[in-house]
Structure 1
């Protein structure tokens, strides 16, 4: 049995992993789902000032504070960036990093640095208009992602604005992510091929690619299948 530390993507809290965690715990694993600072039950009026490095610290604190060993550390979407940094910091406590259809960290670059000029201008405009927050998606943005109406309604109703600093601060890697044992899960309904930076890392013998035939939020669309992938790494 291993310790799973599960980190949700933008706008979401630990609750996003409830169904996956239930399956893993039923199989005897320990599961620690993380709510990052400034989100969900940790959201407040000053949350816009929460930076990406605080999110890295949040993850490291869960691992070290609970004295976890043999850790499978998984990050979805945005959280792949702080997860990749935290994975290097926890040293020999790490069993494997799992990126769930996520961004991955590049030293010195932020979440939005990899976006097109048009996309970056769009998100920076949103931050300016919302007082430093990145507003959650609307229901229409979740269409054609293998999600039920009930799942979409739950996501939309429970999402909270994401701290703007967290997506604009650069990553700081203490070790190249290509050196870490890693599984990248590509959700095929969100694009058939990994991004260019992920494809480059997949050339490392330490990395493997797993494909899942669902949308970008597999913890809601196919939680049992995602849990099965996780347990295959345990």
Structure 2
């Protein structure tokens, strides 16, 4: 059986993985959901110096302090950035990386690079106006469109109530190396609706994800599969490690 460390995306905490964790444990796996500094129950631990390096340290710490081996590291959305950094530091403790509706970051990248300069400026303005200059509030649902596919009103309400502002330093700091993993590390991609379209349209910077050593699994739901399809997501994760 596998050991999963599950890292949530922006605005989320370990709580988002609850149903997926339950299903993975029913399969016999060890499943450890992580809350990153400055979010959810750790919101008060965040501060002006909470950056991408902080979250990389959160991930490496749970693995190293727990003396975990043969780890499957799972990144949802934003977590691709700190997971990419942690994966390059965990050495032979790492057996597999799984990117859920996300992709690995290269050295020197930052979250703001994934959007236009105008969109990045707009985020900065929201942080200044509504986040004390250091936290990014979750956007209103009307701005998220198709990414909410599969979430009924009850789940949307949970997301709305439990989401916490994201430390903005995690978006502005660039990823420093190392980020490369060993050739023996298994690489898995779980693609949901919108990301499937990007992969299938031939976007050059994502083309490598459709070829070995990557293994791709498609999941018919929106951007938050741990909330909209947690059992199906757990089934894919179980299949990926079996």
User: Which residue of structure 2 lines up, in the alignment, with residue 132 of structure 1?
Assistant: 134
User: Which residue of structure 1 lines up, in the alignment, with residue 222 of structure 2?
Assistant: 215
Q: 2:159 aligns with which of 151, 155, 158?
A: 155
Q: TM-score, normalised by structure 2?
A: 0.89
CA contact (8 A) 2:86 2:179 kept: no
User: Which residue of structure 2 lines up, in the alignment, with residue 22 of structure 1?
Assistant: 22
CA contact (8 A) 2:71 2:93 kept: yes
User: Which residue of structure 2 lines up, in the alignment, with residue 108 of structure 1?
Assistant: 108
- The 2-side partners of 1:51 and 1:228 are apart by 33
The count of corresponding residues between Structure 1 and Structure 2 is 233
What's the offset of the Cα at 1:48? 4.3
Q: 1:167 aligns with which of 171, 190, 194?
A: 171
User: Which residue of structure 1 lines up, in the alignment, with residue 62 of structure 2?
Assistant: 62
- The 2-side partners of 1:86 and 1:46 are apart by 19
What's the offset of the Cα at 1:106? 1.7
> Which moves more between the two structures, 223-232 or 111-120?
111-120
Q: 2:235 aligns with which of 224, 228, 231?
A: 228
Q: 2:207 aligns with which of 195, 199, 208?
A: 199
CA RMSD of aligned residues (A): 1.9
User: Which residue of structure 2 lines up, in the alignment, with residue 42 of structure 1?
Assistant: 42
Secondary structure of the equivalent of 1:83? Answer: helix
Q: Map Cα deviations across residues 36-88 of structure 1 (whole Å, 9 max, x no partner).
A: 00000111285343110110010011111111111110010100111111112
Q: 1:181 aligns with which of 179, 186, 192?
A: 186
* CA pair 15-185 structure 1, distance change in 2 beyond 3 A: same
